[in-house]
């Protein structure tokens, strides 16, 4: 495991997934998925469609058998080859992509549904508690089709939380909502989950959602976790090209490695740890290996006084900022995030300089 | 054209027609519907069962439904009338056949026969409820039977209510076939009066009119129900 791929929190894990494999017929979807989620944390599996993240969630919920590896909830093995504790015995709560509210029951009956084993007085109390938590008290006697999408989402959340599950699973919980609502609700839902003290794991392909909700995120690709880390580290310290590409925007520039702490790119010399530098060190070896350096849009700063100039080839207005695509002297392109009052026309040449906090370098790709 | 008709015979026989005949028809329809839906739902759950160990159940239910749907109803009524006493006797281990009577024989026959049709309706109904609803039930700690009973079947039943009622209207009309076992349903009662008083045209016209009115009202009710359910869904 690379030094960057470390667990963020040290609390004992509530959920442990170890070397999980799953296949639909010949198609292997999970190929040795491993991660651990500490109690009380909100984790996220983030990846493009088809990376296996929903399958992983269904395995954790107990809806899919596993081919190899195991899943532990607390100290109990709930899934292993030939062993699968049924979903209803796992003490999990689940929020489905389409919410899966029961259309024939009122909001109150939906929320209280998982409390069938509790005595009626306790059921009423828990229902009031949850209605207050998610702000649905006035809508309790309505039916799901009579309330808005955002309210349905909150009913689904309250219903899942009602039986006090050990682990809450959320499957693309915001994909059915419009973008405005998505942003607001993801923060709201995070607060509700934290207030309930639950441990949660979320599955999504939308990094904004993941960043807004999760303490720890696992980037999934090819049925494996590529990197399990905090949002900050995923963005600023990606461990491989896939993570660098998938999370955030940016451009790669070829660099000459000067020594284990310095690289030179077209825009100047950068200093920092070069993880993939050769073992000998450039000073000894002297052949001068090359690397690809990741430049994020916030690493490239617009400065009229800077000696280096680049041509504006594309611009995307984002309100507070403009995302410029700039062509360098060599013809390579970089992205720059610039406050939007610096409004430059296409074709214009503007001054740029680098403000790189730490260098992200990968072995060069065949070009 | 109606100059030679004696409508008085209808009025005179009304109490007999309704108190004897219609009560038989309606009771038979109600019992066969209830039994048929319960048995049919069980068959539907069997046909939809998954897993290797349950494969015989799937096959058995499928064979039963296909057999029942391949036979003419009259034949089934006839056969059951003679078979039920034998099978009943064999089941309880009695030496001779048990006495069932035309009415209960008809109830059993129609329940068994209609179950095949209700089964296919309920099967479509269960499949109309998305898989996610079942998963949601499990995720909330309910086992298979509770998930079926509280989540899937109520919705399947609601979605299929118009079709179930339409099938019941057909059942109501089909009950007239009990004439083959000489039971006195509404049509049977009308036929007896018609033959006794030689008023065939009047009695059969009246019987047809009653069936028309009942079926038409029921169909309209189903139509209105359908419109209301469409809004809820």
* Mean pLDDT to the nearest integer, B74-79: 90
Question: Is A162 in contact with A124 (CB distance < 8 Å)?
Answer: no
pLDDT at res. A9: 47
Interchain pair B135, A87: CB under 8 A:
yes
For position A4, what pLDDT does the model report?
Answer: 41
Q: Evaluate if residue A365 carries a pLDDT over 80.
A: no
Name chain A contacts of B233, Cβ cutoff 8 Å. 103, 145
Most confident of A19-23, A174-178, B89-93: A19-23
Residue B12 covered by a domain: yes
Q: What is the pLDDT of residues A74-118, one digit of tens each?
A: 989 999 999 999 999 999 999 999 999 999 999 999 999 989 888
The pLDDT of residue A281 is 58
> Predicted confidence band at A6 (pLDDT cuts at 50, 70, 90)?
very low
Q: Terminus-to-terminus CA distance in chain A, angstroms?
A: 28
Q: How many CB pairs under 8 A join A and B?
A: 64
pLDDT at site A134:
86
* B145–chain A nearest CA distance, Å: 12
Asked if B135 is an interface residue toward chain A (Cβ–Cβ < 8 A), one would say yes
The one-character DSSP state at A361 is E
C-alpha span between A299 and A355 (Å, rounded) = 5
Distance CA B140, CA A155 (A): 13
User: What three-state secondary structure class fits A181?
Assistant: helix
**CB atoms inside a 10 Å sphere around CB A207:** 19
> What's the whole-model pTM score?
0.81
Residue A317 phi, psi (nearest 5): -75, 130
pLDDT of residue A5: 43
What confidence tier does B230 reach under pLDDT thresholds 50, 70, 90? Answer: low
Rounded to an integer, the average pLDDT of B37-58 is 93
Q: Is residue B102 part of a domain?
A: yes
User: Quick one: which H or E segment has residue A193?
Assistant: helix A179-196
Are the Cβ atoms of A100 and B136 closer than 8 angstroms? yes
Helix-, strand-, coil-residue percentages of chain A, each rounded to 5: 25, 35, 40
CATH code of B67's domain: 1.10.3720.10
- Domain span holding position B73: 7-232
Average pLDDT over residues A317-323: 90
Q: Is the dihedral of CA A196, A198, A204, A206 positive or negative?
A: positive
Percent of chain A with pLDDT over 70: 92
Which residues of chain B are within 8 Å of residue A114 when distances are taken between CB atoms? 140-141
Averaged pLDDT for residues B60-85: 91
Question: What domains can you pick out in chain A, each with its CATH number?
Answer: 7-91+165-245 (3.40.50.300), 249-362 (2.40.50.140)
pLDDT given for residue A186 in this prediction: 85
Q: Furthest-apart CA pair in chain B: how many Å? A: 73
Residue whose C-alpha is closest to residue A213's, from A224, A200, A225, A198? A200
pLDDT in tens, A201-217: 999 999 988 998 999 99
> How much is the pLDDT for A53?
93
| Contact residues, B window 27-86, toward A, CB-based 8 Å cutoff | none
Q: What is the pLDDT of residue A70?
A: 94
The count of structural domains within chain B is 1
Write down the mean pLDDT value for chain B.
90
Task: Tell me, yes or no, whether B1 lies in a domain.
Answer: no
Average pLDDT of B162-168? 92
Q: What is the CA radius of gyration of chain A?
A: 24
DSSP string, A70-137: EEEETTEEEEETTEE--GGGS-EEEE-TT----TTS-HHHHHHGGGTTS-HHHHHHHHHHHHHHHT-G
The backbone torsions φ and ψ at residue A37, rounded to the nearest 5 degrees and listed phi first, read -125, 120
Cβ-contact B122, B128 below 8 angstroms? no
Residue B220 lies in a domain: yes
Mean pLDDT value of segment A228-252: 91
Test B139 with A116 for CB contact under 8 angstroms.
Answer: no
Position B215 confidence tier, pLDDT thresholds 50, 70, 90? very high
The stretch B193-222 carries a mean pLDDT of 91
Q: What pLDDT is stored for residue B80 in this prediction? A: 87
Percent of chain B at pLDDT above 70? Answer: 97
**C-alpha count within 13 angstroms, C-beta hemisphere, residue B57:** 13
Q: How confident is the model at residue A1 (pLDDT cuts 50, 70, 90)?
A: very low
**Alpha helices of chain B — where are they, by DSSP H?**
8-15, 23-47, 55-70, 73-92, 102-128, 131-139, 144-147, 153-174, 186-197, 200-232
Q: What is the per-residue pLDDT across A270-290, written as a single tens digit (0 to 9) for each?
A: 887 776 555 555 666 666 678
According to DSSP, the residues that pair with A311 across neighbouring strands are A327, A349
Q: How much is the average pLDDT of A241-269?
A: 86
Q: Which residue has the tokens 């979807």?
A: A29
Q: In the sheet where A167-171 sits, what is the strand order?
A: A92-95, A167-171, A199-204, A42-46, A216-221, A224-229
Of B142, B150, B155, the CB nearest to A103: B155
Query: For residue A325, what is the enclosing H or E element?
Result: strand A321-327
Best mutation target among B141, B142, B157, B233 (most A Cβ atoms within 10 Å) is: B141
| Cβ atoms < 10 Å from Cβ of B38 | 13
B2 belongs to a structural domain? no
Distance CA B52, CA B30 (A): 37
Is the CB of residue A226 less than 8 Å from the CB of residue A242?
yes
Find the closest chain B residue to A104 by CA distance.
Answer: B155
pLDDT tens across A28-79, in order?
999 999 999 999 999 999 999 888 999 999 999 999 999 999 999 998 999 9
Chain A residues with CB-CB distance to B under 8 A?
61-63, 86-89, 91-94, 96-98, 100-104, 113-114, 116-117, 143, 145, 159-160, 163, 169
> Is it the case that residue A367 has pLDDT exceeding 70?
no
Chain B residues near residue A103 by CB distance under 8 angstroms: 155, 232-233
A199-204 vs A167-171, strand pairing mode: parallel
Q: What is the mean pLDDT of chain A?
A: 87
How far is B171 from chain A, CA to nearest CA, in Å? 28
| Res. A177: pLDDT tops 60 | yes
Average pLDDT for B191-196 = 90
State the residue for tokens 């399990």.
Answer: A228
CA angle (A292 as vertex; A289, A294 as ends), nearest 5? 145
B188 falls within a domain: yes
- Specify whether the CB–CB gap between A202 and A42 falls below 8 A: yes
């Amino acid at each position: 495991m690379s030094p960057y791929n470390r667990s963020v929190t040290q609390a004992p894990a509530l959920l442990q997934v170890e070397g999980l494999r799953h296949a639909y017929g010949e198609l292997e979807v999970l190929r040795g998925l491993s991660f651990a989620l500490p109690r009380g944390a909100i984790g996220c599996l983030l990846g493009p469609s088809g990376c296996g993240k929903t399958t992983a969630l269904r395995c954790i919920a107990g809806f899919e058998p596993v081919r190899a590896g195991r899943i532990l909830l607390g100290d109990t093995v709930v899934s292993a080859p030939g062993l699968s504790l049924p979903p209803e015995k796992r003490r999990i709560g689940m929020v489905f992509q389409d919410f899966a509210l029961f259309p024939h029951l009122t909001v109150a009956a939906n929320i209280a549904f998982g409390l069938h084993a509790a005595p009626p007085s306790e059921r009423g109390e828990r229902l009031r508690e949850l209605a207050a938590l998610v702000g649905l008290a006035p809508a309790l006697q309505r039916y799901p089709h009579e309330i808005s999408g955002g309210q349905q989402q909150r009913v689904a959340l309250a219903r899942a939380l009602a039986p006090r599950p050990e682990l809450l699973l959320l499957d693309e919980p915001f994909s059915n909502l419009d973008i405005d609502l998505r942003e607001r609700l993801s923060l709201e839902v995070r607060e509700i989950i934290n207030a309930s003290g639950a441990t949660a794991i979320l599955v999504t392909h939308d990094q904004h959602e993941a960043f807004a909700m999760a303490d720890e995120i696992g980037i999934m690709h090819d049925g494996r976790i590529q990197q399990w880390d905090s949002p900050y580290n995923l963005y600023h310290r990606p461990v491989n090209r896939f993570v660098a590409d998938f999370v955030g925007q940016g451009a790669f520039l070829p660099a000459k490695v000067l020594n284990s702490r310095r690289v030179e790119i077209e825009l100047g010399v950068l200093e920092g740890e070069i993880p993939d530098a050769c073992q000998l060190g450039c000073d000894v070896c002297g052949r001068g290996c090359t690397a690809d350096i990741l430049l994020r849009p916030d690493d490239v700063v617009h400065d009229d006084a800077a000696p280096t100039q680049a041509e504006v080839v594309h611009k995307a207005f984002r309100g507070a900022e403009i995302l410029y695509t700039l062509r360098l002297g060599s013809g390579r392109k970089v992205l720059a995030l610039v406050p939007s009052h610096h409004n430059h026309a296409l074709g214009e040449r503007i001054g740029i300089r680098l403000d790189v906090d730490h260098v992200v370098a990968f072995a060069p790709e065949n070009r | 054209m109606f100059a030679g008709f004696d409508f008085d015979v209808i009025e005179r026989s009304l109490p007999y027609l309704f108190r004897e005949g219609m009560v038989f028809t309606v009771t038979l329809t109600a019992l066969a519907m209830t039994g048929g839906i319960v048995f049919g739902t069980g068959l539907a759950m069997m046909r939809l069962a998954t897993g290797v160990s349950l494969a015989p159940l799937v096959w058995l239910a499928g064979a039963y439904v296909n057999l029942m749907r391949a036979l003419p109803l009259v034949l089934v009524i006839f056969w059951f009338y003679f078979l039920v006493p034998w099978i009943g006797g064999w089941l309880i281990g009695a030496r001779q056949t048990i006495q069932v009577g035309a009415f209960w024989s008809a109830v059993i026959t129609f329940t068994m026969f209609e179950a095949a049709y209700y089964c296919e309706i309920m099967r479509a109904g269960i499949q109309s409820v998305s898989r996610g609803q079942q998963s949601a039930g499990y995720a909330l700690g309910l086992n298979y039977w509770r998930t079926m009973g509280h989540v899937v079947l109520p919705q399947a039943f609601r979605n299929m209510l118009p079709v179930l009622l339409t099938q019941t209207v057909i059942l109501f009309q089909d009950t007239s076939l009990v004439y083959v076992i000489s039971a006195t349903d509404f049509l049977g009662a009308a036929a007896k009066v018609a033959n006794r008083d030689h008023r065939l045209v009047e009695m059969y016209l009246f019987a047809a009119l009653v069936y028309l009115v009942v079926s038409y009202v029921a169909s309209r009710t189903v139509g209105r129900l359908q419109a209301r359910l469409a809004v809820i869904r």
